[in-house]
């Protein structure tokens, strides 16, 4: 399974969890549409997730979604420093106003 190139923080996990982007066994994920053929997913592996948890989450996504690719990212323990003038888009790109 490919490793993700983006760094995810605890703040990201909380945000995706609030949006309902979580598997049946409690693994939070990020997702984005690739096109009419399906979506890409990034499982956010936290310290308490085992290899079995990640494998189950992968099976869940493949069963219930049109999966193009699944990557795994370890979650950085430190929340990111953000100011009130910046927001994140659905593609996790920072925009400043």
Phi–psi pair at 89, nearest 5 degrees: -85, 170
Look up the pTM and report it. 0.74
Q: What backbone phi and psi angles, to 5 degrees, belong to 44?
A: -100, 100
Is the distance from CB of 2 to CB of 68 less than 8 angstroms?
A: no
Closest among 64, 84, 77, 83 to 21, alpha carbons compared: 64
Q: In DSSP terms, which residues pair with 39 in a beta bridge?
A: 33, 67
Q: What is the pLDDT of residues 4-41, one digit of tens each?
A: 667 889 999 999 999 999 999 999 999 999 988 899 99
All structural domains of the chain with their residue ranges: 8-76
The Cα 78–Cα 97 span in angstroms is 24
Residue 35: what pLDDT?
86
């Amino acid at each position: 399974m490919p490793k993700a190139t983006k760094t995810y923080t605890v703040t990201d996990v909380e945000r995706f969890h609030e949006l309902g982007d979580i598997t049946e066994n409690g693994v939070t994920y990020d997702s984005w549409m690739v096109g009419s053929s399906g979506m890409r997913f990034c499982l956010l592996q936290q310290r308490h997730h085992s290899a079995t948890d990640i494998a189950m989450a992968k099976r869940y996504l493949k069963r219930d979604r049109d999966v193009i690719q699944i990557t795994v990212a370890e979650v950085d323990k430190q929340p990111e420093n953000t100011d009130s003038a910046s927001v994140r888009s659905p593609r996790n790109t920072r925009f400043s106003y």
